[in-house]
Amino acid sequence: MRRREFIALAAGAIGWPLAARAQQATMPVIGFMSGRSPDDSVHLVAAFHQGLREAGFVEGQNVAIEYRWARGDYGALPALAAELVGRGVNVLLGVGGSARAAKAATATIPIVFSVGFDPVAEGLVESFNRPGGNATGCTILSGQMEPKRLGLLQELVPLVSLYGCLLNPSNAVALRHVQELAEAAQKTSKRIFFARASTDTELDEALRALIVEQVGALLVTADPYFDTRHRRIIEFAAQHRIPAIYHLREYALDGGLISYGPSVTDSYRQVGSYAGRILNGTKPGDLPVVQPTKFDLVINLKTAKALGIMVSAALYAAANEVIE
C-alpha cells in the first residue's frame, strides 16, 4: 500500500512540472529588445508591465517574455533581433534604440517600438494615423528637441560663450543634431563644441576633450547609450562644475542640473498596452503611432546651488518639477 502511495505521489510530483512547462509552452511570447541595460531600466520595465496588465496580460500567467539587452552596444542589436525572430516570438518590442534592428529583422512578426525620432521619416511606418505594415508604437520625439534644450541651457547660463554637446555618432540622427545645434548656436552668436562617443573608451576621451576645450555648459543629447552611463556623466559634470541639461527626468532626479522632455516611462506603458492589444488580435498597422502631448521641465535646485547658479524667476515658474 505504501509502495503504491509512493508511486502515485512521485507521478504527481513529476506531472506538475510537466504540466507547468506545457502551459508555459502554449503562452504567447513577447521579445523585449533594448539598447539600454537592465540596471537602469527597472522603472521602464515596470511601466511596460503596467501597460500589459491594462491589456489583460501578466508575465508568467498568460504571457512569457524574453529579454535581450545590448547595454549601449548598438552593434549587438541586429544579432539580438535575429535571435528573437528565430525564437518565433509573437510580438517583438524595439525600445531603447533598437527599433531599426527590429524592423530590419522581420517583415511579418508584429513590432511595437518606442523611439525618439520621426518614425515616418525614418521609414518605420507609412503614417502616424495608419502605420500599415507590421510595426507601430510611440515616439517621444526627444531627438527633435535638442535646439529647445540648448535654448533652455542658454537661458539658465546666458554668459557662457562656448557650449559643449555630447553626442553618439552611432545614432542615425547624430548628423542632424550637429546641423540643427550648430544653426541654433549661430543664431545666438554662441559657439558649440561637439564631443562624440559611442563606447566607454570614447566617452572618457570625449569628457576629457570637454575639459581641454573649457566648455562653460553641456548639452547631453538624447541617446540610450548615454542613458546607460548617465551616472558617470552626471558625476563628471558635478566634479568639473559644468552646468548640464539632459532629456530625461531621471537625470535630474539623480543629481543632474536640468532636464526637458516627454515621459519615457509613459511611452513604455504605451508599448506594453499595444503589445497586449496585438496579442488580443489587433493588427499593428491599425494602431496609430502615439505622440507626446506633455513635456516636463525639471530643475534640481540643490545642484544649481552647488554650482552657484541662480535660476531665473521665469525659468523657475516654467518648471513642472523643482527638486529641492
Alpha-helical runs (H) found in the chain: 2-26, 42-54, 77-87, 99-105, 146-156, 174-187, 200-212, 224-228, 230-239, 249-253, 264-279, 301-307, 313-318
Confidence of residue 7 (pLDDT cuts 50, 70, 90): very low
Task: Tell me what pLDDT residue 25 has.
Answer: 60
The yes-or-no verdict on residue 137 having pLDDT over 70 is yes
Question: What average pLDDT does this structure show over 310-320?
Answer: 95
Contact between 128 and 286 (Cβ < 8 Å): no
User: pTM value?
Assistant: 0.83
Task: Tell me what pLDDT residue 144 has.
Answer: 77
β-strand pairing of 258-261 with 296-300: antiparallel
Confidence of residue 2 (pLDDT cuts 50, 70, 90): very low
**Is there a shared CATH topology between the 2-141+264-286 domain and the 143-261+295-323 domain?**
yes
- Higher pLDDT: 17 or 110? It is 110
Confidence of residue 15 (pLDDT cuts 50, 70, 90): very low
* Spatial distance between the Cα atoms of 278 and 292, rounded to a whole number of angstroms: 21
Question: What average pLDDT does this structure show over 238-261?
Answer: 96
The residues spanned by each domain of the chain are 2-141+264-286, 143-261+295-323
Q: What is the mean pLDDT of the chain?
A: 91
Record: fold of 2-141+264-286: Rossmann fold (3.40.50)
Task: Tell me what pLDDT residue 14 has.
Answer: 37
Which own/partner pairs from 203-209 qualify as long-range (CB within 8 Å, at least 24 positions apart)? 203/229, 203/232, 206/166, 207/166, 207/233, 207/236
141 phi/psi in degrees, rounded to 5: 55, 25
Question: What average pLDDT does this structure show over 180-192?
Answer: 92
The yes or no reply on domain 143-261+295-323 and CATH 3.30.565.10 is no
User: Residue 292: which of 157, 141, 180, 161 has the closest Cα?
Assistant: 141
- pLDDT tens profile 220-234: 999 999 999 999 999
